[in-house]
């Protein structure tokens, strides 16, 4: 009896819920249709087209084609160019409805999708896909069509996609920069001397236009290849690498169910039945062999883990479980159920640690960093990742630095000893705590034919992927931390997101909008978002100064990452390195970390809010007197070291770049010349004083974070700085930078344009600690 009532109750509940759901759907549909009707109407008005591109904004004549695929699918009547023509895939009613339902506002101004989708949507009714297929079948559909288009498909890391004229997308820029050289080419072509051709000759103009069009076409063509490549990667990763993630599975179930309901309701509202889905004959003939699959997507990986070697010389051929080693237990068996190497590898990684990627030339800096880590009371294991080779001499130096007794401390220790715990110096450890150092040889993780792709900056991403930790701090050899490393894992930005980054000096700004446009273009498309729940990027990414002209946004000398949470994005970091249109827009590895996350559809990353500071000592007021005898308003610090102030507390210095010696270039300086310049560091009274100062540890009393001035120059009449940073090429072999605590002042014609930055005075206790760390790093007794 009780059971029966229970059943009746839950059936009642079900009916009520169903009614509510259908009712909500109906409202949703009605609202959506109505709002669409309005936008359609407004298309007849004189308002500019909704989808504007920065390119045709510059030049009306350029009919900017979204991608080669769209040019082609134009012909099939499937899709179209930007300016109001039939229906592009993303403008299909169902897709818009589903996108609308995801509630992510599209702020990008461009949407480019992989060409595979064109094949998929030409073979299938859109509603039949979204109304019927679950996640797994969508994955299969994507890859069936990828292989259908090209049975031999495999990602090609060696494809030559050289980007020429990256800044000149607008015709007028192109004309300004290249008309000269094209005229020369033209004169050779028509065999007439250059000086006899008028610049306004219509035939010449036409020729230049043709050259421009053909350049634009091939640049777009290459961009589409990148779009295709990164789309396939993010879908593969979501479909087959992170598909065992319970959070993802749950979210995906909900996502799919919701879509099925919506599309069914849509059909019902039009008195139709949901069309059924069937694979085409060709699609069904494609055999998706899982084991070969991963090799096609990651042809550059050998699918061998790196070799891990402990400081004692014990060698492991898979990620070692350090906890088991510490307890003297055998290595636990892998629990991974995935058929894929990449998932298995991820699941074997464990624990927390510090990761460096070095070559032999970084040996001395690494030794100093390890001394510093000992002084910081670091308890985390350290993995030194290398690629080509690391000499035995380097390894010996590093192991010695980590393990030798370290008990003669600098005099500066006395002042700060009481800040450390009682067991900081133990008799047993013979001084500062010893470090658990590992060497990771990644040479064999890369297939032979692609090995040369990983020379240089690529190493840092290999270190990111192939260290054995689940959570890690990736540092450069010349990074100097001012906090015990555990501090970085406790940052609330890291705890919240599992990916924490720092910003660079807000100094260079020569980045055109076309760079930002490119990255928006290769980020997840609307179709990725409705098909695979890979969200389009939001203001979290798009509001960053990078998209407003900052050339350097991130400072990658210290990065904190959680592997389990961001594995797919880490794989994207490596992939982006293969594309010249990416690498030619980025200096080294700097921006790739966060851009790869955005491109992979993972915006869960946080930045320390402040841009980098100049750290050291404020220039004496006497040296900053204006012509009228008054003191300058802006405070100045000139220093070769950027430092990073924790924005979560607003005042602590957490790490600095370029080591700890005042001038990292000290051995390359002509000190007589340096002294005779007499414009900076005026309190140093002879060449010898300069030399001593340059070799000594940086002394840190203050920090200046200049106001952000991207694309702004504070021209003023008070001799106040116009820009927040000034690169002082005359000192320390061009490594010196001066930073100002404010810019601007009174302007001609009245008013002011002052912008204030931040000046931080470190308390004596902090200065004493910095002095101790500096002495340790430099090796002062
Ligand atoms: C655009 O460039 C691609 C690749 O360079 C080429 O195959 C294609 O024919 C070009 N299209 C036009 C219309 O020039
Ligand atoms: C699953 O993925 C989410 C992000 O989508 C991540 O936050 C979470 O840590 C992952 N869980 C596991 C167990 O890997």
Distance 24 CA to ligand 2 centre (A): 31
- Beta strand pairing status for 653-656 and 702-705? unpaired
* Domain edges within the chain: 171-218, 613-778
Distance 566 CA to ligand 2 centre (A): 8
Q: How big is the chain by its Cα radius of gyration, in Å?
A: 30
Rounded to 5 degrees, φ, ψ at 338 are -75, 145
The answer to whether residue 459 scores a pLDDT higher than 90 is: no
Asked whether the beta carbons of 544 and 494 are under 8 A apart, the reply is no
pLDDT band at 23 (very low <50, low <70, confident <90, very high): low
Look at residue 242 in the predicted model and tell me its pLDDT.
96
Query: Which mutation among 135, 247, 346 tests ligand 2's pocket best, with the greatest number of atoms within 8 A of CB?
Result: 247
- Beta strand pairing status for 315-316 and 307-310? antiparallel
Task: State if residue 211 touches ligand 1 by the CB under 6 angstroms criterion.
Answer: no
State mean pLDDT over 163-186: 89
Task: State if residue 343 touches ligand 2 by the CB under 6 angstroms criterion.
Answer: no
* Ligand closest to the CA atom of residue 535: 2
Choose the weakest-confidence range: 38-52, 480-494, 527-541, 764-778: 38-52
Look at residue 513 in the predicted model and tell me its pLDDT.
87
State mean pLDDT over 311-325: 96
Q: What is the DSSP letter of 489?
A: H
Nearest CA to ligand 2 atom 7: 565
Task: State if residue 565 touches ligand 2 by the CB under 6 angstroms criterion.
Answer: yes
Query: Which mutation among 245, 342, 570 tests ligand 2's pocket best, with the greatest number of atoms within 8 A of CB?
Result: 245
Nearest CA to ligand 2 atom 13: 245
Strands (E), 456-529: 471-475, 480-481, 499-503
Task: State if residue 218 touches ligand 1 by the CB under 6 angstroms criterion.
Answer: yes
Look at residue 31 in the predicted model and tell me its pLDDT.
62
Look at residue 87 in the predicted model and tell me its pLDDT.
61
CA–CA distances in Å: residue 776 to residues 59, 203, 367, 372, 562:
59, 70, 11, 6, 30
Share of the chain above pLDDT 90, in %: 76
pLDDT band at 774 (very low <50, low <70, confident <90, very high): very high
- Higher pLDDT: 23 or 201? It is 201
Task: State if residue 221 touches ligand 1 by the CB under 6 angstroms criterion.
Answer: yes
Task: State if residue 217 touches ligand 1 by the CB under 6 angstroms criterion.
Answer: yes
The answer to whether residue 95 scores a pLDDT higher than 70 is: yes
Share of the chain above pLDDT 70, in %: 88
Query: Which mutation among 211, 217, 224 tests ligand 1's pocket best, with the greatest number of atoms within 8 A of CB?
Result: 217
State mean pLDDT over 165-176: 86
Taking only the tens place, the pLDDT of each residue in 677-715 is: 999 999 899 999 999 999 999 999 999 999 999 989 999
Hey, what's the torsion of the CAs at 441, 442, 445, 449, to 10 degrees? -110
Look at residue 122 in the predicted model and tell me its pLDDT.
93
State mean pLDDT over 26-31: 64
Choose the weakest-confidence range: 144-153, 492-501, 744-753: 144-153
State mean pLDDT over 193-214: 92
The answer to whether residue 46 scores a pLDDT higher than 60 is: no
pLDDT band at 82 (very low <50, low <70, confident <90, very high): very low
Distance 578 CA to ligand 2 centre (A): 27
State mean pLDDT over 460-481: 97
Task: State if residue 564 touches ligand 2 by the CB under 6 angstroms criterion.
Answer: yes
pLDDT band at 75 (very low <50, low <70, confident <90, very high): very low
* Ligand closest to the CA atom of residue 251: 2
* Ligand closest to the CA atom of residue 499: 2
pLDDT band at 33 (very low <50, low <70, confident <90, very high): low
State mean pLDDT over 31-53: 40
Task: Please give the Cα distance from 198 to 209 (Å, whole number).
Answer: 16
- Of the candidates 469, 533, 572, the one whose C-alpha atom is nearest the C-alpha of residue 243 is 533
Look at residue 125 in the predicted model and tell me its pLDDT.
94
Taking only the tens place, the pLDDT of each residue in 51-62 is: 333 333 333 233
Look at residue 25 in the predicted model and tell me its pLDDT.
67
Taking only the tens place, the pLDDT of each residue in 393-425 is: 999 999 999 999 998 999 999 999 999 998 898
- Of the candidates 188, 216, 194, 170, the one whose C-alpha atom is nearest the C-alpha of residue 67 is 216
Q: What integer best gives the mean pLDDT of the chain?
A: 88
The answer to whether residue 588 scores a pLDDT higher than 80 is: no
Look at residue 426 in the predicted model and tell me its pLDDT.
76
Task: Please give the Cα distance from 572 to 250 (Å, whole number).
Answer: 24
Q: What is the largest CA-CA distance in the chain?
A: 104
CA–CA distances in Å: residue 625 to residues 34, 614, 637, 739:
66, 21, 15, 16
pLDDT band at 16 (very low <50, low <70, confident <90, very high): low
Task: State if residue 377 touches ligand 1 by the CB under 6 angstroms criterion.
Answer: no
- The atom number, within ligand 1, closest to the CA of 68 reads 1
Task: State if residue 56 touches ligand 2 by the CB under 6 angstroms criterion.
Answer: no
Taking only the tens place, the pLDDT of each residue in 245-289 is: 999 999 999 999 999 999 999 999 889 999 999 999 999 988 887
The answer to whether residue 37 scores a pLDDT higher than 90 is: no
Taking only the tens place, the pLDDT of each residue in 204-216 is: 999 999 999 999 9
Nearest CA to ligand 2 atom 4: 565
State mean pLDDT over 486-513: 94
Asked whether the beta carbons of 433 and 776 are under 8 A apart, the reply is no
């Amino acid at each position: 009896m009780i059971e029966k009532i229970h059943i009746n109750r839950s059936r009642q509940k079900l009916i009520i819920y169903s009614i509510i759901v259908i009712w909500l759907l109906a409202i949703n549909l009605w609202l959506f249709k109505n709002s669409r009707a309005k936008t359609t109407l407004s298309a007849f008005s004189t308002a500019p087209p909704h989808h504007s591109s920065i390119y045709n904004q510059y030049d009306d004549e350029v009919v900017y084609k979204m991608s080669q695929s769209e040019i082609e699918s134009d012909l099939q009547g499937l899709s179209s160019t930007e300016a109001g023509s039939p229906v592009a895939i993303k403008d299909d009613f169902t897709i818009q409805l589903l996108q609308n339902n995801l509630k992510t506002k599209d702020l990008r101004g461009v949407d480019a999708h992989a060409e595979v989708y064109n094949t998929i949507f030409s073979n299938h009714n859109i509603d039949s896909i979204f109304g019927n297929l679950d996640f797994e079948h969508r994955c299969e559909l994507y890859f069936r069509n990828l292989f259908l288009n090209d049975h031999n498909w495999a990602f090609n890391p060696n494809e030559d996609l050289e980007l020429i004229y990256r800044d000149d997308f607008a015709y007028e820029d192109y004309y300004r920069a290249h008309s000269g050289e094209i005229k020369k080419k033209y004169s050779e072509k028509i065999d007439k001397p250059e000086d006899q051709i008028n610049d306004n000759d219509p035939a010449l103009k036409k020729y230049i236009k043709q050259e421009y069009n053909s350049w634009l076409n091939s640049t777009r063509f290459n961009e589409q290849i990148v779009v295709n490549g990164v789309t396939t990667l993010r879908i593969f990763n979501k479909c087959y690498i992170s598909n065992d993630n319970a959070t993802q599975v749950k979210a995906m179930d909900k996502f799919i169910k919701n879509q099925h309901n919506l599309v069914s309701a849509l059909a019902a509202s039009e008195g139709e039945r949901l069309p059924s889905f069937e694979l085409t004959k060709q699609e069904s003939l494609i055999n998706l062999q899982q084991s070969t699959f991963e090799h096609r997507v990651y042809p550059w990986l050998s699918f061998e883990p790196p070799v891990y070697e402990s400081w004692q010389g014990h060698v492991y051929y898979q990620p070692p479980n350090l906890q088991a080693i510490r307890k003297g237990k055998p290595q636990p068996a892998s629990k991974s159920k995935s058929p894929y190497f990449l998932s298995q590898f991820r699941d074997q990684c464990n624990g927390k640690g510090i990761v460096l990627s070095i070559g032999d030339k970084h040996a001395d800096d690494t030794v100093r960093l390890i001394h510093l880590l000992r002084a910081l009371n670091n308890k985390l294991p350290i993995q030194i990742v290398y690629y080509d080779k690391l000499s035995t001499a380097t390894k010996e130096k590093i192991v010695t630095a980590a393990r030798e007794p370290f008990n003669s401390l600098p005099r500066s220790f006395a002042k700060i000893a009481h800040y450390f715990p009682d067991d900081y110096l133990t008799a047993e450890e013979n001084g500062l705590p010893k470090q658990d150092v590992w060497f990771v040889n990644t040479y064999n993780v890369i297939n032979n034919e692609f090995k040369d792709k990983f020379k240089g900056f690529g190493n840092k991403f290999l270190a990111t992927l192939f260290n054995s930790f689940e959570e890690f701090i990736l540092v450069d050899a010349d990074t100097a931390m001012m906090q015990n490393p555990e501090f970085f894992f406790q940052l609330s930005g890291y705890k919240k997101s599992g990916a924490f980054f720092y910003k660079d000096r807000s100094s260079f700004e020569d980045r055109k909008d076309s760079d930002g446009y490119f990255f928006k273009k290769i980020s997840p498309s609307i179709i990725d978002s409705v098909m695979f729940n890979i969200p389009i990027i939001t203001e979290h990414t798009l509001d960053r100064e990078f998209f407003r002209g900052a050339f350097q946004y991130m400072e990658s000398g210290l990065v904190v990452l959680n592997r389990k949470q961001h594995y797919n994005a880490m794989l994207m970091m490596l992939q982006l390195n293969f594309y010249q249109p990416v690498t030619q827009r980025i200096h080294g590895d700097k921006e790739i970390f966060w851009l790869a996350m955005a491109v992979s559809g993972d915006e869960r990353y946080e930045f320390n809010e402040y841009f980098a500071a100049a750290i050291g000592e404020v220039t004496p007021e006497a040296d900053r007197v204006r012509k009228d005898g008054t003191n300058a308003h802006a405070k100045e610090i000139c220093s070769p070291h950027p430092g990073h102030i924790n924005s979560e507390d607003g005042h602590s210095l957490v790490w600095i770049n370029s080591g700890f010696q005042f001038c990292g270039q000290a051995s390359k300086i002509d000190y007589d010349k340096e002294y005779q310049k007499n414009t900076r560091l005026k309190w140093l009274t002879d060449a010898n004083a300069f030399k001593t100062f340059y070799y000594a540890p940086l002394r840190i009393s203050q920090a200046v974070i200049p106001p952000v001035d991207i694309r702004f120059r504070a021209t003023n009449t008070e001799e106040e700085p116009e820009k927040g940073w000034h690169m002082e090429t005359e000192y320390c072999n061009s490594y010196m930078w001066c930073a100002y605590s404010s810019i601007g002042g009174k302007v001609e014609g009245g008013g002011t344009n002052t912008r204030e930055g931040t000046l931080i005075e470190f308390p004596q206790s902090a200065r004493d600690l910095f002095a101790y760390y500096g002495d340790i790093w430099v090796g002062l007794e």
